[in-house]
Structure 1
Amino acid sequence: MWTKIIILTVILFFTGMNVDGAKEMPKPCTWGDIDFCERLLTIYVGKPDNWHEDEDKKSFLYCDLVKLRLTCLESLDCDVDNTPNSELPLNITQWKLWIEPQIENMVNLNLCSDEPKDLIKSDPRDPCSEYSVAKRCMEELSDYLKSRYAMTCVAMLKAAPCFINGRARCRIQRTTSTGFPRFINPYRTMSEEGRCRLIWNQNLFGRQEQWRIEHANDYFSYF
C-alpha cells in the first residue's frame, strides 16, 4: 500500500513539474507573429502624420520603419531563440542582430530623428560620400512607403540593392558590420514563402489622398 502511495506521489510530483515547466516555456514563433509586425508597420508608415517633406527630414520615415521593426521583433511573445522552426524558417535572434548596426549607422549619419551618439563624419556635398548614398536610398524608400500600394517587406527588398550598389559604385567601405556574412535576407524568405503581401488599410486611404492633393502629388508619384 505504502509503496503504491510513494510511487503515485513521485509520478504526480514529476508530472506537476512538467506541467509547470510547460507553462513557463514560450510558444513557438509562427508566421502569425511576423504578420502582426507587418500590420503594425503598415499602419505606422501609412499615416501621413508620420510623413516628412522637409529636405532634412525626408529620410526619417524609412529610419522609423527599421527601428519599429526591431522594436516589434524584440517584443514578440514567442520563443525567438528557437527559430527557425517547422512553422517559421527565420532566425529572429540573428535578424535582430542584423538590424541593429543598420540603425546605428543611419542614426550616426544623422539621417534619423534620433540624436547621433557617435557622429560619422561624411561630406554631404560629395554625391559619393556615405552620407549622400545613404540619404538618397532612404529618401527613395521613404517615398515608396508613401505610395498607395506600398508593402513594408518590399521596401526592405528594395533597400539592400540600393545601399549595396550605391556603396559599390562609390567604393565605400561599411562603417559597421552585421557579423552575419552568410545570413539569408529574411525579407527574401518572406517573399519566397508568400508572406510579403499587401495589407490594405481603408481607414487611411482618404487621409493619404488628401495629403497627396495638398502636396501636389498624383497617383503615380511614389511607385
Structure 2
Amino acid sequence: MIKLLVAVVTAVICSTRVDAAPRACTWADIDYCEEIVTSYIRDPCNWNSQKKSALYCGFIMERVECLRNLNCDIRRSTEEIPFNINTWINIMESRLPFMIDYDLCYEKSTNPLEVNYEDECDEYYVNKQCMEELAEYLMSPYSLGCVAMLMANPCFSSRRTKCGIPQAVIDGVDLTPGNFVNPNIVIAETGHCRLFY
C-alpha cells in the first residue's frame, strides 16, 4: 500500500512539473506583438519631427518588451517558429544602448557616446540615417512593422560596410545579411507579415 501511495504521489509531482513547463510559442504570439507595435507606430503622439529616429527606437523597445513578456517559451525554436525568439530579442536589445547613447531616442543617455560630426562615416550617422529612414516609413498609414525590420538589417549593414565599420556581432553571430536566420524573413516567407488595423 505504501509503495502504491509513493508511486501515485511521484506521478502527481512529475505531471505537475510537466504541466508547469511553458508552452511553445505560436504565430498567434508573434501576431499579438505585431499588433502592439502597429498601435505604437500608428499613434502620432509617438512621432517627433525634430527627432524622427525616436520613433524607430521606441518601435524597437515596444517589440522587445512585448516579445520578452510573451506567455510562451521564448528560449526554444519549434517547427512552427523556426527561430529562437530570445536570440531575436538579444539582437534588437543589444543595439538599443548605441541608439540611446547617440541621443537618437527619447530616453536620456547616462553614457553619451562621442560623435565626430565632421565625419559622415561616424557610426552616429550610420545609426541616425537608417533610423530616420525607417521612421519615415513607419509613419506611413500602410507601413508594416515586419517590413521595417526587413529594411533595417540591410540599411545598417550596407552603411557600415560603405564606411568600413565592422558589422555587429551578437552572441557570436555576425549580423551581415545572410549569416543568420533572420526572424523577419521567416515571418514574411510564412505569410505572417501583414497589415493590422
Is the partner of 1:80 in helix, strand or coil? coil
Is the partner of 1:34 in helix, strand or coil? helix
Partner of 1:192: 189
Cα distance in 1, alignment partners of residues 17 and 40 from structure 2 = 37
Give the Å deviation of 1:111: 0.7
Cα distance in 2, alignment partners of residues 100 and 47 from structure 1 = 23
- How many matched pairs? 192
Question: What is the identity, as a one-letter code, of the residue corresponding to 1:108?
Answer: D
Structure 1 gaps of 5+ residues are: 202-223
Cα distance in 1, alignment partners of residues 11 and 20 from structure 2 = 14
Give the Å deviation of 1:31: 1.2
Cα distance in 1, alignment partners of residues 14 and 80 from structure 2 = 24
* Deviations, residues 87-137 of structure 1 (Å, cap 9, x unaligned): 211201211221122111111111111122332212234332211221111
Cα distance in 2, alignment partners of residues 48 and 80 from structure 1 = 31
Cα distance in 2, alignment partners of residues 85 and 134 from structure 1 = 33
Cα distance in 1, alignment partners of residues 161 and 73 from structure 2 = 37
State the structure with more CA Rg.
1
* Deviations, residues 147-187 of structure 1 (Å, cap 9, x unaligned): 1110001001111111111122222235x632322431111
Cα distance in 1, alignment partners of residues 156 and 43 from structure 2 = 25
1:9-48 alignment runs, 5 A limit: 9-48=5-44
* Deviations, residues 17-73 of structure 1 (Å, cap 9, x unaligned): 12321332111111111111100000011111111111xx11100000111111111
Question: What is the identity, as a one-letter code, of the residue corresponding to 1:161?
Answer: P
- Using the size of structure 1 for normalisation, the TM-score is 0.80
Cα distance in 2, alignment partners of residues 42 and 31 from structure 1 = 16
Partner of 2:149: 156
Runs of 4 or more, structure 1, over 4 Å off, are none
Partner of 1:62: 56
Cα distance in 2, alignment partners of residues 88 and 173 from structure 1 = 30
Is the partner of 1:77 in helix, strand or coil? coil
CA RMSD of aligned residues (A): 1.6
1:79 aligns with one of 73, 78, 86:
73
Answer whether contact 1:31 1:88 (CA < 8 A) is retained. yes
Cα distance in 2, alignment partners of residues 124 and 147 from structure 1 = 30
